[in-house]
Chain A
């Protein structure tokens, strides 16, 4: 059996090898080691949802007609029969009601888009809070920021295509935001929309942006992201035997490939279940776009919500001088603020390196508590973002909690400036507290729960010393308090909880293995542990 498969594979491999000389490359790739940690799979979710988006998107393309030409609807959805609407809206209804399995494809596509952006954002949080963006990975961080911004753009372009009342309102606002830019604003929106809003061109142009331009760039950037990741090797958390010079984990083939491949199907399964069971973007309920109508309580997809919120929080400022108008009430919340937010996000690795004067390469990840300033800055920024995001739905909140709509806006305006610094201070305190509890364990050992009574009558709890396997080389600076001097230099805790970081769900593996070629390669050596 084994020899037969060996022969079959040998024959195929020889055919390829005699044309591409690929044996060494393939062997090294299969032996490539990936560290195991649940948080490393968040980025995989983004990759997998992109694949789902490509698959379902190609299917939808075959039925969708992105034209603004007006038609009279004559499909099987009775409430809209005879209503004039754009071909784009009509073909979306056709996909939803008259194509077998069309609705589930549409809904899987939309859910996968939400998951795509969500997982990118959570993945970025993971990379940020563990310091994985540090040298030598700044380029991949920049590519990641680009992927996120393009993901937002792609999502917005996508849900604007059906030309329903909700998406048309979104486009109307986008037009106004574009128009608010001084000097070039009117120019560029006229060029983009082919004239005054709504024009005849925008649906067709967004379609090209959505199915060709942005996905093409996304695909190229994802490829670059993965190639750099592959070449630089993955970061890993600290743990016994893990150093800046190695990677500890399971090999690409077969273990990681099986788990990763299986994980793709799990992600697809979740999205398929959502697409079948959870209705999303029921455009037939909104009706075709009409500039004189709008529905109350309408929210954009979640990733645009923070812009909606910032527009709502803005005070009514406008500059009128020298024959020109600058609408600060759109320009600041709609253009300047997101520009600053994404700009700071992109620049963060360089800013941190400059302020900490850290020029070293880092392959071991930080525990967030060990970098209280970075962690607090991250929580502060996220708080700012979440206030904006919640304010994108303040009308829903006002309705839900039965408070005045105006009050929610005032609360949001105050919270936007008050909460972030407050959260910075709280996070900083929590980080320091966690560091101290680590220190406590290092100095006094682990609590055993065994109570002894001394002859004097005093009760004490017995502390067991920290096991050697829970200690790693100190990740902290020399003046950092949370370390103890061991025989081999400063040591620190892997985890105060007594669990090794890096195996969140499963017990630490103790097995060893040495691949056959361990002594063959000098640069990609696998060694026995």
Chain B
């Protein structure tokens, strides 16, 4: 519009004064404007929709290529493929700029990408903007959005093996369950109690003993012990950024534990202090994986704080009756309100008094997520370490096993390997 204004002013003054020179001067801006109007910015821009796997894993790399066809108009074309937060650009560029003369032009946007965060993933349509010489612009989208899901990196079965011996930690690798269907493996002979089936009475043994109460054969029960997982998804775990947070690592640890225990026949239950609440009562089999893992994959940080203690209360009866292994996935670094000891006390109350409770706490450390300090006065990581050490010691002495996991330094597989270590 500036061109038209300049042309108009020169022409008007020229017309008033009858000045041929000023009228002549008004013509080039006018003709430049007309040329700009005739040669519009490119508007017909189309893009294809590439095929990418429907199921990706965190850390997986893939190549994303979009072929763009530009037709009509003359001018600069800027093409931008926006990338969601769950994706990291490794190579290539998601922005392309070109000047288009007459005719049709075809370009390709190629990027090497890596999935860095779990959850649903939507790669939006291509955005384009074009402008011509005099600043007329056009913009729009091309191609279609691509939907896929990024799953957590899970341990493959057999990566952590166990040998029959005394466990260092209360991992129930060789424990037997209290409930379940009796198998054909003989376990012991014991006195008859009300409710025992008649077919299990060992008549010969009863006759030899000369006792009034008959003796019955006890068989090993099928299935294994129950494991209860408590994932802390409250304020404690909201340390980090949108890509890397304690909750993300907590979900990774929980998913791997679910996969690990279900693969070995344990009955696995899960409670997450999230809004809405997320509870899965202990069940065995692959069905639990199908139920739990997609829900964990979609778990997002929750702004409303639900204390961990409330989720422990949900499994009260189960803990009292079946004495399961409880695993709490949380972080002492993020527990600024010091609410964790209260939750642990509550959990311990439901177990019978013994030297060591079957409770394991996976403590995810956040120290390495904080940028390294520049001077000693702001050495937050060091201060966090100093603050945490006595708390870990206190939890350990109270009979709860604490397993530290620093995601920046080791994989969760290593932590798991440490826990199943035998004497």
Pairing of A with B: no
- Residues on B facing A (Cβ under 8 Å): none
- Residues on A facing B (Cβ under 8 Å): none
